[in-house]
Amino acid sequence: MTPGPTQVADSVYHARSLRTTNPDLDPAFYDFYRDTCRLFGHLIHTENECFVLGGEGILGLEAACASLTEPGDRVLVIDNGIFGKGFADFVSMYQGNPVTWSLDYHNPLSPEKLRDYLEKDHDFKYATLVHSDTPSGLLNPVEKLCPVLKEYGILTVVDSVTGMFADELDVDAAQIDIVCGGSQKALSAPPGLTMVAVSQDAFAAMHDRKTPIRSFYANLLTFENYYKDQWFPYTMPVSDIMGIRQALENVAADPEHLKRHAKIAAATRKALTEAGLTLYLESGFASSVTVFYVPEGMKAQDILDTMVEKHHIMIAGCFDVLAGKVIRIGHMGNNANETDMIETLKALAQTLRELGFEVQADPAERFQAYMK
């Protein structure tokens, strides 16, 4: 019950076990790959060109920065979470000039505040932001923020690795130039793939570069004409792609997918609060993960260890500035089911009692009441 990698459905494991073709040479695989990308695009509401790249979620973030950044380019890095801040490293690595705008980690950025900032300074080639920042569970309103950036002629790179398929994402309405996803979060495929959707404006910026893209593996232009040329820049991980296709079809076949995430997340927040725990965020709660403070006098690691040793349930701590401070329960993708959440909350209540915390209301019971 961690915030990714999440539990994988049997249908996805089965798809990954099927006999495979030669993905470089078989025209049928190019069709299968294109249809898989189109299904992905359909589910995130975009007409933009979509690709599935052979590499974990981080590859998408790095590929976006590698493909857009030229030496000296000013890039606005919107930092209201740990992944938000992390984009500055990719920008610097490709010799861009990141301007990190550090904000409150407990509340999302508002479009008004963004507009005020851009009034004073908007000389940026592109901006980076995170849809759903998994270490804190913060959800940024990308559908309101990205159009403001576009008004100022700034391209947008959005990390929606945990956002997509757990919370609403309409890429075309949000006018996002490059959006990145990962296989192992709310899509519930195993780790190993990143999915990206790239706008015409983003492709134009890559073609307009004065210097070449300083990467091969992270160069999005190498995929631009794969179908016309019937050529992939590297051999596609065919079993992984058969798995993600099934995972996408599972989401497509479930009209309640997002509604269930929202309901489970809301019930979890209420249940934990009534149990006497304190949530990390003040507002802007993502539906993928619930993050609460480690109760005073307790160690995060003791909570995690007891959960695994006594109850065989893995939840997560955190890293970077939140290391040791918070605990995270991931309820996205296949983890977003009532049965597993009830087991997890029962085990958490027992664990906390055992470690000396006075649980005020039974969180599993409260959760069930809110799910009715």
Q: How far is the CB of 99 from ligand PLP (least distance, A)?
A: 20
CB of 186 to ligand PLP, least distance (A): 10
| Buried/exposed code over 344-358 (b: 16+ C-beta within 10 A; e: otherwise) | bbbbbbbbbeeeebe
Does 48 help bind ligand PLP (rule: CB under 6 A)? no
For CA atoms 237, 195, 50, 10, the dihedral sign is positive
- Residue 317 near ligand PLP by CB under 6 A: no
Q: Report the alpha-carbon distance of residue 183 to residue 59 in Å, rounded.
A: 12
* Residue 98 in contact with ligand PLP, rule: CB under 6 A: no
Provide, rounded to whole angstroms, the least separation between the CB of residue 141 and ligand PLP.
16
96 binds ligand PLP (CB under 6 A): no
> Which of 154-162, 216-224, 276-284, 339-347 is the region at the interface with ligand PLP (rule: CB under 6 A)?
154-162
- The answer to whether 284 contacts ligand PLP (rule: CB under 6 A) is no
Is the Cβ–Cβ distance between 330 and 316 less than 8 Å?
yes
The stretches of 215-295 forming alpha helices (DSSP H) are: 226-229, 238-252, 257-274
Q: Which of 54, 181, 182, 284 binds ligand PLP (CB under 6 A)?
A: 182
CA distance 314 to 1: 6
Angle between helices 338-354 and 300-311 (to 10 degrees): 120
Judged by beta carbon, residue 290 or residue 351, the one nearer ligand PLP is 290
User: If binding is defined by CB under 6 A, does position 183 make contact with ligand PLP?
Assistant: no
Task: Indicate which single residue of 128, 136, 140, 162 sits in contact with ligand PLP (rule: CB under 6 A).
Answer: 162
* Residue 24 makes contact with ligand PLP by CB under 6 A: no
Options 26, 56, 172, 362; binder of ligand PLP; rule CB under 6 A: 56
Q: Do 268 and 331 meet the contact criterion of CB atoms below 8 Å apart? A: yes
4 binds ligand PLP (CB under 6 A): yes
Q: What span, in angstroms and rounded, lies between the C-alpha atoms of 326 and 370?
A: 24
- Name the segment binding ligand PLP (CB under 6 A); options: 14-22, 50-58, 105-113, 330-338: 50-58
**CA–CA separation, 116 vs 289, rounded Å?**
30
- Whether the CB-CB separation of 250 and 13 falls below 8 Å is answered with no
Size of the site for ligand PLP (CB under 6 A): 13
Taking the least distance from each CB to ligand PLP, the nearer of 49 and 159 is: 159
Q: Is 57 in the site for ligand PLP (CB under 6 A)?
A: yes
Task: Give dist(CA 214, CA 183) in Å, integer.
Answer: 26
Q: Does 130 bind ligand PLP (CB under 6 A)?
A: yes
Which CB, 166 or 307, lies closer to ligand PLP? Answer: 166
> Does 134 engage in binding with ligand PLP (CB under 6 A)?
yes
Residue of 49, 62, 159, 274 interacting with ligand PLP (CB under 6 A) = 159
Integer Cα distance of 12 and 227 in angstroms: 25
Residues 184-223 that bind ligand PLP (CB under 6 A): 185
CA–CA gap between residue 164 and residue 251 (Å, rounded): 11
Pick the stretch among 70-78, 158-166, 292-300, 326-334 that binds ligand PLP (CB under 6 A): 158-166
Roughly what angle, to the nearest 10 degrees, separates helices 82-93 and 57-68? 50
- Rounded to whole angstroms, the Cα distance separating 260 from 122 reads 39
User: Quick check: 330 binds ligand PLP (CB under 6 A)?
Assistant: no
Selection from 234, 244, 198 nearest residue 66 by Cα: 198
Which residues contribute to the site for ligand PLP (CB under 6 A)?
4, 56-58, 83, 130, 133-134, 159, 161-162, 182, 185
